[in-house]
Structure 1
Amino acid sequence: MKEHIDYLSTLFVGIDIASRVHVISALDFNEEFYIRMKSVENTQEGAAFIEQMISDVLKHNHQFKYVMIGMEATGFYGVHLANYLSASDLLAPFSVRVYCLNPKEVKNYKKSFNDIGKNDGIDSYVIADFARVGRIAIKPWRGSQYLALQRLTRHRMHITECIAREKTYMLNNIYLKFSEYALLRDGQHPFANKYGATAEAILTEYTTNEDIAKSSVEDLVAFINSKSKGRIADPEETAKILQAAARNSYRLDKCLYEPLTISIASSFNCISSFERELKAIDKAVLQTVQGLNPDEYTVLNSIPGIGKVYSAGILAEMGSIKAFPNANALAKYCGIVWNDNDSGDFVAEDKHMSKAGNRYLRYYIIEAAGSVIRHCPEYKAFYDKKYAETRNHQHKRALALTSRKFIRLLFGLLDKGQLYSPEKSR
């Protein structure tokens, strides 16, 4: 839902962001320049200079009542400037709005200009004109509180990606050392947690597969009981599975076992460290989110399985639901939409997800949907139905479609300010 802005009384400012130097242009609704492609250093002093330039224009041109500032969301180089200008006391009387724009949208808009050159000055003009013609459809920069939460939730995603990457890398080494163990699936695997303390002990304290195969069942059972602290229900069956896997695994030259074991042990240490950091980040997220959009946070937490951390991640990236006119706009913003792949009477069965939107919001919505599937029978039934419809990419497809259904629920509850109930979800 866009706020009402009198465009005839607005100064449109475009800033092309770079690591060292920004370029700024400013124009009115009639395309008259007030600042023409001015280069300014990306420093605190440069930000103050930009603030003063804009303030001087407003002071000497009394037709302006509003300021709209657009800048491309180029990595993190514009974060300090967006924060500075949105909190400016000099610009506050003019209802300053700072927008971090999707570079892809600006690039597509630039194509509408004929014979326009490529330089930073031109780009700052294109950004200002993009704002002038009313193409901005996002909410303004939301300030330091959201940035603080966003830094934590994005770092949390980074940590989870590091854990997943380390596990994948470790599995390569496990396969080289203990091939049959690495190939055991969930139903056959001896340990509920493949990366737990008992699994780690088996893979790092037994140097070779022969050591496992030749060990007596009694000794192996005693070892498993010791490392699992008696939590494994049938340690004897576990010992037999491990010995069968050890006998059927490829044999290696003896010189390979110790380096592989050291590498696997190192990966376990990395995963353990990342998981400790993840707990610390989760604690910090819950502290930071307090008092930030409390009503919307309460609505999100009312959905079974979504959890406080995923709610915080969604809130940090989405901001207020009022920024979106409908559920489709929210889905598009996070990239959970599908590109058409049709021609004439042909309708393609495989359509690729766009993924052009906010990847952090997409991550938290998909993770939250996966958790809701496990806690909400309606979503479990929907997931199972979509899973059975195809043989290709079954889980990914079903989870993506369930996430889209989840977005509709999310938008409906947040838009009306209602808590979840099974009747409302339908």
Structure 2
Amino acid sequence: MAGKLTGSRRRRPSKRRSKNRVHLQKPSGLIGPRVAKVGGDRFAIVCIDPAKHRSEWMMADYFGKLLIAPQTLEHQSGHFKAAIAQIQQSQKQNDIRDLIVVVERTGNYHLAPKHAFSSAGFETRVVHPFATKQYRMPADPGNKTDETDLHAQHRAAVAGFGLCERELQSPYRELQLRVRHRRNLVEKASSLACQVREHLHLSMPGYSVLFDRLLEHRIAMGIGRCCESPAKIVKLGQTGICKRLRKQGIRCQQRTIDKVLAWASQEKNQMVKDGAVHHAIWTDLEELFRQIQRQITSIERVLAGELVQTPYVRLMSIPGINVVSAADLAGEMGPIDAYANANAITGRSGLFPCRHQSDQTDTSGPIIRQANRRLRCALMRIADNLACHCAHYRGLAEQDLARGVAVRASRVKTTKKFTRLAFACLAGDQPMRHPAFRAPDSILEKLREFHRLHETPLDQVLADLSKAVEQLPEYAKGHEAKVVAEVLRQKASRKRREVGLGELLTAVLARLGINDNEIDKTNTIKSGDRP
């Protein structure tokens, strides 16, 4: 496997199982039977080349005869209605009995014409720019215009590259948008964190390396905000620093303050140019960072509420998978019934080696480049988590490392194994006998702990736990009921009673099918006399 992914090698030719295709066209782009039914001169293709504010479009029959010459279409409702009326009129004049609309994928610019024509009742398909380019280059080498692109789109659609896309339904559509938005915010927060460290180092050299997780250390950041130089820290002293921290609502910790004072006494004579300016910059950046972090927390709470409406919540029983990673995978994969088997998942994500075969030469190289990169990243992130937190996959990763297998190749192997497990877990309700399920995590306990850390309102926690119960397979409900009942007993044994949590877990036990006698026993333990 490592050889396949890290470099090409020559091997003996092997007979591989063919896909036994009935048609050479892609299944989601097949139009041959429809053309044969009505005739090529009665089958039309509308080609649209979109831009940000307007598109170029034309209409031609299957054989390439122009029915509507290329023209500009503004992205406004009135212009869309006029174009639709023009197409309908041309259908009547030329006795067109079947028609498809093909839009080239261009970022998000293709969505406006795609939605407009699909809402009008036309079958709207999408052609990839790569396919357009391949069909334009032989006919118009070195010449790229809107008109030549339209002609290339027509040739691609005739060859079966105008593909039908499955529209994501709720809650998968919302999950996908929010997951991508969260990922974008995480990248921005990471960039801001690096800038905060950089400007903090320029204002007080060496201060940022005193703490491992600087931005999460409240005392360290509190001292940094109120002191723009080591000399200011020494001048304030222990009493002044404690007073400033209390004003910020931060508890003082003696050993941390002594650590900072020891560093400042050594650096107090160092002259820093523009230290005050850098201090002002990093404090502004830190404020932006905190704001983004609060937004990320808010989005994650919403993601949990949408995740529990899908079967993907079942994956949380695997150690190493939590709400965010499961929601990330659900948003990028979509409904599991869209995949025939586990190979369809890795095929869509492009997690297989490229192949070059000609006559007696048959070589494999690195994983293919053209793929759904977002799905690939989601799967690879899960593989990293499994290799760290799941005993079964961690053991396999350590074996690969001992054999000298590259880390990336090992993660691809883990992803391949995980997709088979995920497909069985999501698509079926049979008990899982995989080694990763020997000591499964409690899904409900993970959700409860997630909401505790995110300070979610209790009513939303109860709603999410109730919806999660509906997604659990029958074989998992017994294990979940035992875990929830045990948590309830532990909470009840404490002196400080948590009434809200007790009522919440009792309601969850009822949804799991625990009878009234067992609930009463649990409540007796919860509210009875304590030693």
TM-score for the superposition, normalised by structure 2: 0.61
Work out the CA distance in 2 between the residues paired with 1:245 and 1:420. Answer: 58
Aligned position for 2:448? none
Work out the CA distance in 2 between the residues paired with 1:113 and 1:418. Answer: 53
- Kept after mapping to 1: 8 A contact 2:48/2:55: yes
- Kept after mapping to 1: 8 A contact 2:75/2:112: no
Work out the CA distance in 2 between the residues paired with 1:71 and 1:380. Answer: 45
Work out the CA distance in 1 between the residues paired with 2:223 and 2:196. Answer: 14
Identify which of 187, 198, 202 aligns with 2:223: 202
Residue 43 in 1 paired to residue 76 in 2? Answer: yes
Larger Rg: 2
Identity rate of aligned residues, in percent?
20
- Kept after mapping to 1: 8 A contact 2:58/2:70: yes
Secondary structure of 2:274's counterpart equals helix
The amino acid that maps onto 2:219 is T
- Kept after mapping to 2: 8 A contact 1:25/1:128: no
Residue 111 in 1 paired to residue 173 in 2? Answer: no
Q: 1:51 to 1:192 in 2, by over 3 A?
A: same
The amino acid that maps onto 1:18 is A
State the shift of 1:50 in Å. Answer: 3.5
Residue 135 in 1 paired to residue 168 in 2? Answer: no
Work out the CA distance in 2 between the residues paired with 1:397 and 1:172. Answer: 34
- Kept after mapping to 2: 8 A contact 1:26/1:34: yes
- Kept after mapping to 2: 8 A contact 1:336/1:400: yes
Aligned position for 1:365? 379
State the shift of 1:163 in Å. Answer: 0.3
State the shift of 1:276 in Å. Answer: 1.4
Q: Which runs of 5+ in 2 are unaligned?
A: 1-25, 438-531
Taking the TM superposition and a 5 Å limit, the aligned residue runs for 1:20-419 are: 20-59=53-92, 64-65=97-98, 67-88=99-120, 90-91=121-122, 96-99=123-126, 101-113=127-139, 115=141, 117-136=143-162, 139-142=165-168, 148-183=174-209, 189=211, 194-212=215-233, 235-246=253-264, 252-253=270-271, 256-286=274-304, 294-295=310-311, 297-300=312-315, 303-321=318-336, 330-331=345-346, 333-334=348-349, 356-385=370-399, 402-403=414-415, 405-411=417-423, 413-414=425-426, 416-417=427-428
Secondary structure of 2:125's counterpart equals strand
State the shift of 1:423 in Å. Answer: 0.6
Residue 423 in 1 paired to residue 429 in 2? Answer: no
State the shift of 1:17 in Å. Answer: 0.7
Q: 1:375 to 1:115 in 2, by over 3 A?
A: closer
Q: Which runs of 5+ in 1 are unaligned?
A: none
- Kept after mapping to 2: 8 A contact 1:335/1:354: yes
State the shift of 1:275 in Å. Answer: 1.1
Work out the CA distance in 1 between the residues paired with 2:377 and 2:258. Answer: 40
Q: 1:319 to 1:257 in 2, by over 3 A?
A: same
Per-residue CA deviation, residues 120-177 of structure 1 (Å, 9 max, x unaligned), is 1221232232222123566344478765544332221221111011001111112223
- Kept after mapping to 1: 8 A contact 2:349/2:371: yes
- Kept after mapping to 2: 8 A contact 1:200/1:268: no
Q: 1:144 to 1:324 in 2, by over 3 A?
A: closer
Per-residue CA deviation, residues 224-272 of structure 1 (Å, 9 max, x unaligned), is 8997966x9xx45444543454456696435633222222221221111
